[in-house]
């Protein structure tokens, strides 16, 4: 049984103007489909990565996974508990203590008025747990000094703050950590340190990660499985080796071709064509067809289902 089961997950945001403006300007309601019919499973003790451009819905999926947003349709089951629909308070609390999140911006994710000790202890102290020595132990576990517990967040650098965030995420001994672009706000040199730390912790503590990123090189090394998102839809799901060696969806191919390569200095490549379409008025059929080099008439008429193609799941009529 998979730890996370995402089934037909859909999230629609109402981004309409205020009612009065709509009446005066005769505008219809504007509904933005951030996530559309996404399904995938994450096995326990593995790292599942979601990659995609800005606006592809990857953070929205992460927020729905931890219960910060309610799905419009479909569900996220974590160990068979649906956070947005569970009514049993005890079960919900137990499920919440198994889930934690690491955020993108280490400058906004720590309360500037709290001491590091209080920040790290909160997930435990909020439930009335014993926090004696907890912050010190966790700080050392993430490579900081136990003396840092009495400091305030502004006394730390971005990388150190992210370590504090990791320490907080570990405090309640969770089984699942959703990492929402945890390294994208950091310097490249610090990114590697933080990633290695997260990778070590994952192995040593038997954690499951749902890792959200736009950086393919980051994802390649840490993941057991990668899901590629385009305009709120999952277009391909494969192991890193399979995806990087042999991408099957035209979008994955374009994404990989556009990624910077160390040995490819001065290489001639075609830049990606077009832009991600407006999610308020998504294209018919396959969302990628306006940019796809191999699109046919069928692509603009019929939305492709996820199907298994040579060891990967792909949503493309033409992949084989």
Partner 1 sequence: MADTTPAPKPRGRLAHWWDGDFAYQFRRSPVAIISFTVVMLMVLAAIFAPLIAPYDPFDPASLNLMNGFSSPMEPNAFTGETFWLGTDDQGRDVFSTILYGLRISLFVGAAAVGFAMVLGITLGLVAAYVGGWVETIIMRIADVQLTFPAILVAMLIFGVAKGITPVEYRDQMAIWVLIVAIGLSDWVQFARVVRGATLVEKNKEYVQAARLIGRGSGAIMLRHILPNVLSPVLVIATISLALAIIAEATLSFLGVGAPPTQPSLGTLIRIGQGFLFSGEWWILLFPACTLLALALAVNLLGDWLRDALNPKLR
Tell me: does residue 208 bind partner 1 (CB under 8 A).
no
Residues in the chain: 320
Tell me: does residue 210 bind partner 1 (CB under 8 A).
no
Applying the rule CB under 8 A, the residues between 102 and 121 that interact with partner 1 are 103-105, 108-113
Tell me: does residue 38 bind partner 1 (CB under 8 A).
no
Residue 182 or 250: the one with the smaller Cβ distance to partner 1 is 182
CB 218 within 8 A of CB 229: no
Tell me: does residue 280 bind partner 1 (CB under 8 A).
no
Least distance from C-beta 110 to partner 1, angstroms? 6
Give dist(CA 205, CA 140) in Å, integer. Answer: 15
Q: Which of 195, 167, 193 is nearest to 109 (CA)?
A: 167
Residue 150 or 245: the one with the smaller Cβ distance to partner 1 is 150
Mode of pairing for the β-strands spanning 307-309 and 312-314? antiparallel
Tell me: does residue 68 bind partner 1 (CB under 8 A).
yes
Tell me: does residue 93 bind partner 1 (CB under 8 A).
yes
Task: List the structure tokens of 186.
Answer: 């950091």
Residue 94 or 307: the one with the smaller Cβ distance to partner 1 is 94
Contacts of 88 (CB under 8 A, 6+ apart): none
Give dist(CA 77, CA 161) in Å, integer. Answer: 31
Residue 164 or 219: the one with the smaller Cβ distance to partner 1 is 164
- Residue 75: strand, helix, or coil: strand
Binding site for partner 1 (CB under 8 A): 63, 66-68, 92-93, 96-97, 99-101, 103-105, 108-113, 122-123, 126-127, 168, 172
């Amino acid at each position: 049984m998979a730890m996370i089961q995402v089934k037909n997950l859909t999230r629609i945001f109402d981004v309409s103007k205020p009612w009065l403006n709509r009446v005066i300007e005769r505008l219809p309601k504007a509904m933005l489909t951030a996530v559309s019919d996404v399904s995938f499973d994450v096995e326990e003790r593995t790292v599942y990565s979601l990659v995609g451009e800005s606006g592809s819905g990857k953070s929205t999926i992460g927020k729905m996974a931890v219960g910060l947003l309610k799905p419009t349709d479909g569900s996220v089951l974590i160990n068979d508990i649906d956070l947005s629909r569970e009514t049993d308070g005890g079960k919900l609390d137990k499920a919440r203590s198994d889930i934690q999140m690491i955020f993108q911006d280490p400058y906004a994710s720590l309360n500037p008025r709290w001491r590091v000790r209080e920040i790290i202890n909160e997930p435990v102290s909020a439930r009335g747990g014993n926090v004696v020595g907890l912050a010190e132990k966790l700080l050392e576990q993430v490579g900081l000094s136990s003396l840092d517990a009495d400091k305030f967040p502004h006394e730390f650098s971005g990388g150190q703050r992210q370590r504090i965030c990791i320490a907080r995420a570990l405090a309640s001994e969770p089984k699942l950590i959703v990492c929402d672009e945890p390294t994208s706000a950091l310097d490249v040199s610090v990114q590697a340190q933080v990633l290695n730390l997260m990778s070590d912790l994952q192995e040593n503590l038997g954690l499951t990660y749902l890792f959200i990123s736009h950086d393919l090189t980051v994802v390649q090394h840490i993941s057991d499985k990668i899901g590629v998102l385009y305009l709120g839809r999952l277009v391909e799901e494969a192991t890193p080796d399979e995806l990087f060696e042999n991408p099957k969806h035209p979008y994955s191919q374009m994404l990989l071709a556009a990624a910077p390569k160390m040995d490819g200095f001065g290489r001639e490549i075609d830049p990606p064509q077009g832009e991600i379409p407006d999610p308020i008025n998504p294209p018919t059929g396959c969302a990628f067809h306006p940019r796809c080099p191999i699109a046919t008439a069928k692509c603009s008429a019929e939305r492709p289902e996820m199907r298994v193609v040579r060891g990967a799941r792909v949503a493309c009529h033409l992949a084989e």
